[in-house]
């Protein structure tokens, strides 16, 4: 029992020191909010079920009148992407890096592959807790704007995109950790 108390005290001192004075190494490693969240919503054609083979192969097929081709049924689609961490943004910067562009490119590939007609794209910029508080709101907005500009350069209509800067007040769950 005594060993557990000592281990707990040592761990709290160590973790308390890390939290009160974050080092550059720690800020590079833990990036829970230095990201931009992208949600694309729209519609895509439903997959057409394959016709079942006839049970009676001996029967002669009857002549059917030619039918007009039906419009494919559409289904709602929601796709998400995260441009996050060091691969997407440097600390204190809104310049979208190649890693963030790759995440957005995978979203655009899904849109193309599934033949999605995009109805709206919502872009929310976030900053991490290590970035300056006074610049956090504008930095989050600038990150969102840089993602909007990149998506526009890839053919998404700017009229369909909405952006906002969330700062560090509305955190996103951590999905990227240190190795």
Domain ranges of the chain: 1-30, 32-48+66-179
- How far apart are alpha carbons 50 and 81 in whole angstroms? 32
Reported as a single tens digit per residue, the pLDDT across 41-93 is 999 888 767 766 655 555 556 656 666 667 778 889 899 998 888 888 888 88
Q: What are the CA-CA distances from residue 4 to residues 7, 9, 10, 19, 121 (Å)? A: 5, 9, 10, 22, 50
Q: Which residues contact 173 (CB under 8 A, 6 or more apart)?
A: 32
Provide the phi-psi class of 150: left if phi over 0, else alpha when psi is between -120 and 50, else beta: alpha
DSSP, collapsed to helix, strand or coil, labels residue 67 as coil
pTM of the model: 0.68
Can you read off the two tokens belonging to residue 109?
């590939």
- How far apart are alpha carbons 90 and 27 in whole angstroms? 11
Instruction: Give the position of tokens 């080092």.
Output: 23
Starting at the edge strand found earlier in the chain, the sheet holding 35-45 runs 74-84, 35-45, 117-126, 161-167
- How far apart are alpha carbons 138 and 166 in whole angstroms? 9
Q: Is the pLDDT of residue 31 over 80?
A: no
First to last CA, the chain: 32
- Given a contact cutoff of 8 angstroms between Cβ atoms, the answer to whether 34 and 85 are in contact is yes
Reported as a single tens digit per residue, the pLDDT across 1-23 is 454 445 444 444 444 434 434 44
* CA 59 to chain CA centroid, nearest Å: 54
In this prediction, residue 90 carries a pLDDT of: 85
The residues with which 78 forms a beta bridge, in sequence order, are 41
Domain made up of 32-48+66-179: CATH architecture: 2-Layer Sandwich (3.30)
**C-alpha atoms less than 13 angstroms from C-alpha of 63 in its C-beta half-sphere:** 1
- Read off the pLDDT of each residue in 19-35 and give the average, rounded to a whole number: 52
Reported as a single tens digit per residue, the pLDDT across 121-177 is 999 998 877 776 667 678 889 999 999 999 999 999 999 999 998 876 676 665 555
């Amino acid at each position: 029992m005594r060993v557990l108390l000592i281990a707990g005290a040592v761990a709290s001192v160590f973790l308390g020191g890390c939290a009160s004075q974050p080092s550059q190494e720690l800020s590079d490693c833990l990036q829970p909010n230095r990201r931009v969240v992208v949600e694309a919503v729209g519609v895509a054609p439903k997959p057409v079920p394959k016709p079942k083979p006839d049970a009676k192969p001996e029967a002669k097929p009857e002549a059917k009148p030619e039918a007009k081709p039906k419009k494919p049924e559409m289904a709602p689609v929601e796709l998400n992407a995260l441009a996050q961490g060091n691969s997407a943004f440097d600390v204190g910067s809104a310049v979208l890096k190649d890693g963030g562009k790759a995440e957005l490119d995978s979203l655009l590939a899904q849109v193309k592959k599934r033949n999605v007609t995009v109805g709206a794209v919502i872009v929310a910029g976030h900053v991490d807790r290590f970035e300056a508080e006074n610049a956090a709101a504008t930095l989050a907005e600038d990150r969102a704007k840089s993602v909007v500009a990149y998506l526009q350069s890839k053919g998404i209509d700017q009229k369909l995109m909405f952006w906002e800067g969330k700062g560090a007040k509305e955190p996103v769950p951590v999905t990227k950790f240190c190795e």
